[in-house]
């Protein structure tokens, strides 16, 4: 028997945790547990009180969309990849702490996207920037492939000792996209402009803990991307 403890409520409400009991096999995920709880005709806490349906986000259910990122026993994880076999009999679920809370386990991670818009992370129009296949050949291509595999779950920002969401440091998710665009950019002057932004919004704030790389569910080699960006910065001087 598992005891599932879930932080409930909306911003501004008093913090409260509800406890639920559940029988489950070792090979199921936390996401399965949440789905089963909400399937109950009446959702009752362990002390018999009626509870509202639990809110969380999920979509692909196979670690490819990042929607179900949450804190599981205080560790940032994807619920669809957190198997009960790897957890204790008491499982505490909480929303990620560095993003605005929406309700229960749902947080608003829009900042991941808006920072990339603010930093102009796109390739310029093809007329100005003839995309050269040379950048995409096998070796570099594999690294760029990894970079474009980012699922924007936000786990890297959650574990980052420097990211607060309230200052100029945008964290690894930004750096990862920045790395890709900088590598695909043809014009040296454009690249120079971009590297300046990298310095302001990443390099100056990163203390190289590499907690981001360790937690990344997509296995993106973030430290490699940082070193590639550094090398590019030197070449662009």
Binding site for another protein (CB under 8 A): 25, 27-29, 31-32, 35, 38-39, 41, 53, 55, 57-67, 80-81, 102, 106, 108, 110, 113, 116-117, 120-123, 126, 131, 133-134, 136-138, 141-142, 144-145, 148-152, 180-181, 184
CA geometry: angle 41, 45, 47, nearest 5 deg = 130
Non-local CB neighbours of 12 within 8 Å, separated by 6+ positions:
none
CA gyration radius, the chain = 21
110 vs 167, beta carbon nearer another protein: 110
Q: CB of residue 109 vs another protein: minimum separation in angstroms?
A: 8
CA atoms within 13 A of residue 103's CA, in its CB half-sphere: 4
93 vs 204, beta carbon nearer another protein: 93
Q: CB of residue 129 vs another protein: minimum separation in angstroms?
A: 9
Q: CB of residue 73 vs another protein: minimum separation in angstroms?
A: 19
Q: How far apart are CA 104 and CA 9, in angstroms?
A: 5
Beta-ladder partners of 78: 69
180 vs 228, beta carbon nearer another protein: 180
Q: CB of residue 161 vs another protein: minimum separation in angstroms?
A: 25
Residue 22 and residue 36 in contact, taking contact as beta carbons nearer than 8 Å: yes
């Amino acid at each position: 028997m598992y005891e599932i403890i879930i932080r409930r409520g909306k911003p501004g409400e008093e913090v409260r945790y509800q406890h639920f009991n559940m029988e489950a096999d070792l090979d199921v995920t936390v996401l399965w547990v949440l789905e089963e709880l909400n399937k109950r005709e009446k959702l009752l806490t362990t002390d018999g009180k009626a509870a509202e349906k639990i809110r969380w986000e999920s979509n692909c259910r196979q670690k490819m969309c990042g929607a179900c990122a949450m804190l599981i026993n205080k560790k940032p994880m994807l619920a669809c990849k957190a198997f009960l076999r790897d957890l204790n009999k008491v499982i505490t679920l909480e929303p990620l702490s560095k993003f605005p809370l929406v309700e229960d386990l749902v947080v608003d991670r829009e900042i991941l996207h808006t920072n990339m818009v603010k930093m102009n992370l796109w390739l310029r129009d093809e007329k100005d920037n003839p995309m050269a296949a040379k950048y995409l050949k096998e070796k570099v291509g594999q690294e760029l492939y990894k970079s474009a595999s980012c699922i924007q779950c936000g786990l890297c920002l959650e574990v980052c000792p420097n990211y607060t969401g309230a200052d100029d440091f945008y964290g690894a998710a930004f750096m990862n996209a920045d790395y890709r665009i900088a590598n695909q950019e043809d014009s040296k002057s454009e690249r120079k402009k971009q590297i300046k932004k990298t310095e302001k919004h990443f390099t100056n704030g990163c203390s190289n803990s590499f907690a981001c790389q360790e937690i990344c569910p997509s296995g993106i080699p973030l430290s490699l991307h940082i070193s590639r960006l550094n090398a590019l910065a030197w070449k662009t001087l």
